[in-house]
Amino acid sequence: MGRGLAFLALVGLLIVSALPGAQAAQPDDHQDHQDHQDQQDQQNQQDQQNQQDQQNQQDQHGEWWAQLDANVALLNGIPGRNMLPNEFGYGARLGHRWERWGVVGQLTHNLWVPNREGWTVKPGVLNAGLGVEHLLFDNRVRISAAAGTSTLVFETVLDAAGTTGFFVDVRPAGLRWNITDRLRLEWDPITFSLSQPALDEPTLDQTEFKTVFVIEVGL
């Protein structure tokens, strides 16, 4: 009986002596967790600072970018002109942007589908020019305009291939989506295009309202 009581007393002492150690370990675990959380917060702040520094550097020095686009005509701008061709095409743009403003160089090949000849596709015109752009609403909307030369790339009844005039391209509201830091998609629901490759009478001109789909890559 005496041995049993002594054994129980010994076990009790061991339990009591262990309790302060366990209680002391809890603050240590809490401190380790707090230190880990502080390290994560510091890393997040550093990442945000790096992103801000990168954005500030980009705003200061600007950004080169390149685009590929495809367009299709929605409406002819001159009612009753059956000779005026419908149009679709593709193009490339290269530009440099400082914050919200930028300059643009573009090259576009527009193919024609004369109404009188069904769906026979004509080589159309090659437009090359320069323009400007402006970004709005946190870079989600872009306005741009360009002008330059418009060159006929096939022979017509009245005009030879290589005949050159002018073009104007206005894109009033391009909707933009950032896929990554350098990859963006853009959709211009409606744009205005005027091409007049032949300036001599009778002039050869086309006025089109188009929709344009764009892929942009930051360089």
For residues 96, 140, 135, 131, the Cα torsion angle rounded to the nearest 10 degrees is 60
Q: Give 143's pLDDT tier (boundaries 50, 70, 90).
A: very high
Residue 138 pLDDT greater than 50, yes or no: yes
More confident residue, 38 or 122: 122
More confident residue, 187 or 8: 187
Q: Which two tokens stand for residue 173?
A: 């509201």
pLDDT in tens, 26-73: 555 667 777 778 788 888 888 788 767 666 665 667 899 999 999 998
Q: What is the mean pLDDT of the chain?
A: 83
Helix (H), strand (E), coil (C) string for the chain: CHHHHHHHHHHHHHHHHHHHHHHHHHHHHHHHHHHHHHHHHHHHHHHHHHHHHHHHHHHHHCEEEEEEEEEEEEEECCCCCCCCCEEEEEEEEEEEEECCEEEEEEEEEEEEECHHHCCCCEEEEEEEEEEEEEEECCCCEEEEEEEEEEEECCCCCCCCCCCEEEEEEEEEEEEEEECCCCEEEEEEEEEEEEEEEECCCCCEEEEEEEEEEEEEEEC
> Which one of 93-97, 113-117, 195-199 scores highest in mean pLDDT?
93-97
Give the CA angle between residues 114, 119, 123 to the nearest 5°. Answer: 60
User: Quick check: bond before 202 cis, omega within 30?
Assistant: yes
Q: Give 82's pLDDT tier (boundaries 50, 70, 90).
A: very low
Residue 119 pLDDT greater than 70, yes or no: no
What are the distances in angstroms from CA 156 to CA 23, 123, 152, 189, 193? 95, 11, 9, 31, 21
Residue 19 pLDDT greater than 60, yes or no: no
pLDDT in tens, 158-208: 888 889 999 999 999 999 999 998 999 999 999 999 999 988 878 888 888
d(CA 55, CA 42): 20
Q: Give 137's pLDDT tier (boundaries 50, 70, 90).
A: very high
d(CA 187, CA 175): 5
d(CA 66, CA 210): 21
CATH for the stretch 62-218:
2.40.160.20
The pLDDT value recorded for residue 25 is 47
- pLDDT above 70 covers a percentage of the chain that reads 74
CB atoms within 10 A of CB 46: 10
Q: Give 129's pLDDT tier (boundaries 50, 70, 90).
A: very high
Domain boundaries, the chain: 1-61, 62-218
